[in-house]
Structure 1
Amino acid sequence: MLTDKQIEHFKKQLLDMKKEAEENLEEYRDDRAKEDYPNDDTGEISSVADHPANLGTDQHERAKEQTFYEQAREKLMEVNDALQRIEEGRYGKSEMSGEPIPVERLEAMPTARYRVDEQEDSSQ
Structure 2
Amino acid sequence: MSMFQKPQPLAVLVVRDAPDVVAGLRRALESATDAERPGLERALALAEDSAARPDAELRGRWVRQRLAAAGHEGPVDSVAAIKILRRAEPGLTLLQAVTYAKEAEAVEA
Report the TM-score range of the alignment, normalised by the length of the smaller protein: 0.3 to 0.5
Larger radius of gyration: 1
What is the TM-score normalised by the length of structure 2?
A: 0.40
Q: Which has the higher contact order (CA 8 A, sep 6+)?
A: 1
Give the structure with the larger helix fraction: 1
What is the TM-score normalised by the length of structure 1?
A: 0.36
